[in-house]
Amino acid sequence: KETIIRIENLKKHFQVNRGLLKEKKILKAVDGITFEIEKGETFGVVGESGCGKSTLGRTITRLYDATEGKIYFDGNEITKLKGKQLHPYKKKMQIIFQDPYSSLNPSMNVREILSEPLQIHTYLSGRDLELKIKESLEIVGLDATSVDKFPHEFSGGQRQRLGIARAISVEPDFILCDEPISALDVSIQAQIINKLEMIQEESGISYLFIAHDLSMVKHISHRIGVMYLGKMVEMADSASLYKEPLHPYTKGLLQSVPRIGTDSNFESILFGDLPNPVDLPSGCRFRTRCKYAKKICSEVEPTMIQIAPKRQVACHLYDK
């Protein structure tokens, strides 16, 4: 299988000023992540808010400059490209944002909203531009007569369809989906997922699909990475991850998914809040919330261990 995105030891650190004394601290939002996404694959990334998953997406798509590490798109390194060199990759990597309400300019009609990326990235104009806009709307299941409407005239689900139409109009190879369904009703969530899957089947596009909840990535993801405080703690194909989670954090996340008729014992594994991300625990970052923590966990940071061809985990319980 060919790879569309590969990141190697990717880091994004921010300098922040904390407290009354405005003490300078480093926030390690993304702190050394390595994985690849295949062509036609959906890679899900899951973690609590504040774990760095949006920063990861924004660094990969070059909205943020990486602090360290490398990003490859279709075999070409793009980590430090700027301006004209970066421009063609900006077309190939589109983004769908979490909040369809705020990611669409309320004073622009649909024609103007969809024209924007097309005018930046293609030479289409006049009738061809109009046709492309209508074609994109049809793919996401919106009526071609929508072109004269404004965002407030659509429902939340329809607005997210507009966001998808805008992203696919320039025919990208990859879309970063940053919590695209979190703000939608459950019934609408399934429609959006189905639409994204249909587009993938027809175009072979790849997705990085971000969510804060494992139930939201289950259906769409081929593989899933679980993120905790800037690190991947486990990566696996979807089926294995749900059937046999390895990392204590993944187990905690899975048990926090409400299941009808069962008593969640979420608390027994995943207790407490995220530690302050500018003051990370020594050793394993998860140790302050892990009931399996032992001496080595506070002394040595666990590294990714390959368990099976598509299974990796970073936890001392699996040290050889």
Query: Quick one: which of 7, 164, 205, 284 contacts ligand SF4 (CB under 6 A)?
Result: 284
Query: Could you give the C-alpha distances from 178 to 26, 56, 201, 222, 234, in angstroms and in order?
Result: 24, 10, 20, 17, 20
Rank residues 7 and 114 by Cβ distance to Mg ion and give the closer one.
7
Q: Report, in Å, the least distance between residue 147 CB and ligand SF4.
A: 52
54 binds, among Mg ion, ligand SF4, none (CB under 5 to 8 A by kind): Mg ion
Dist CA 296 CA 253 (whole Å):
23
CB 42 within 8 A of CB 16: no
CB closer to ligand SF4, 223 vs 287: 287
β-pair type (42-46, 206-211): parallel
* 245 interacts with ligand SF4 by CB under 6 A: no
- Among 317, 199, 305, residue whose Cα is nearest residue 249: 317
User: Does residue 231 belong to the site contacting ligand SF4 (CB under 6 A)?
Assistant: no
CB of 37 to ligand SF4, least distance (A): 25
| Residue 271 DSSP label | -
Q: C-beta of 274: minimal distance to Mg ion in Å? A: 14
User: Are the C-beta atoms of 181 and 210 separated by less than 8 Å?
Assistant: no
Give 172 or 248: the residue with its C-beta nearer to ligand SF4: 248
By CB under 6 A, residue 290 contacts ligand SF4: yes
In the complex with ligand SF4, the residue whose CB is nearer, 89 or 228, is 228
Strands, sheet with 305-308, edge to edge from the N-terminal-most edge strand: 93-96, 174-178, 206-211, 42-46, 223-228, 231-237, 311-313, 305-308
| Min CB(317)–ligand SF4 separation in Å | 5
Q: Name which of 54 and 200 has its Cβ closer to Mg ion.
A: 54
Query: Distances in Å between the alpha carbon of 80 and those of 15, 33, 65, 134, 243?
Result: 20, 17, 7, 35, 39
Judged by beta carbon, residue 205 or residue 290, the one nearer ligand SF4 is 290
Does 293 contact ligand SF4 by CB under 6 A? yes
Strands (E) located in the chain: 3-18, 23-38, 42-46, 68-73, 76-77, 93-96, 174-178, 206-211, 223-228, 231-237, 305-308, 311-313
212 near ligand SF4 (CB under 6 A): no
Contact between 54 and Mg ion per CB under 5 A: yes
**Nearer of residues 41 and 234 to ligand SF4, judged by Cβ:** 234
51 part of the interface to ligand SF4, by CB under 6 A: no
Q: In angstroms, what is the minimal distance from the CB of 247 to ligand SF4?
A: 6
Tokens at 21, concatenated = 């004394």
Residues with Cβ within 8 Å of 49's Cβ and at least 6 positions away in sequence, in order, are 212
Stretch that binds ligand SF4, among 88-96, 111-119, 160-168, 284-292 (CB under 6 A): 284-292
Which residues would be at the binding site for Mg ion (CB under 5 A)? 54
The residues that touch ligand SF4, with contacts defined as CB under 6 A, are 248, 284, 286-287, 290, 292-293, 297, 302, 315-317
